[in-house]
């Protein structure tokens, strides 16, 4: 299982040293089946049970609602196990971050959200 996904439109990479998954580009896949490889990558990161997983979205220009659904599902799964903390890093200069990232905190009140 690759811990890195590279396509023309987006890149996702995992840094084990900091348990950080970084998302870059535009991800607008058509549904859960197309998002499965990304969901699997996230599940693999969670399986190691680091104390904290960081989702670095600072260079994620676009994410469609199916992608928001996929990340939300991951956050709900982590919340259920209650063993791992999650931090989400957004950017002040990317419009959808300010509008949509706060919803993750509503799913998991302890989630750390920073706009960098």
Contact yes or no for 113/92 (Cβ under 8 A): no
Beta bridge partners of 14: 21
Site string for other proteins, 38-77 (x = CB under 8 A): ------------------------x-xxx-xx--xx--xx
Residue 36 C-beta: closest distance to other proteins, Å = 11
Residue 100 C-beta: closest distance to other proteins, Å = 5
Kindly report the three-state secondary structure assignment for every residue of 98-113.
Answer: HHHCHHHHHHCCCCEE
Contact yes or no for 50/83 (Cβ under 8 A): no
Which residues make up the interface to other proteins (CB under 8 A)?
Answer: 9, 26, 28-33, 62, 64-66, 68-69, 72-73, 76-77, 93-96, 98-100, 103, 106-107
């Amino acid at each position: 299982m690759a811990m890195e996904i590279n396509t023309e439109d987006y890149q996702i990479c995992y840094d084990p040293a900091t348990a950080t998954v970084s998302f870059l580009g535009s991800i607008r896949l058509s549904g859960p089946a197309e998002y499965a490889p990304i969901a699997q990558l996230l599940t693999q990161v969670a399986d190691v049970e680091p104390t904290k997983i960081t989702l670095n979205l600072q260079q994620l220009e676009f994410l469609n609602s199916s992608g928001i659904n996929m990340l939300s599902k991951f956050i709900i799964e982590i919340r259920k196990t209650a063993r791992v903390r999650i931090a989400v890093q957004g950017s002040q200069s990317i419009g959808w971050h300010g509008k949509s990232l706060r919803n993750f905190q509503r799913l998991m009140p302890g989630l750390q959200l920073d706009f960098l």
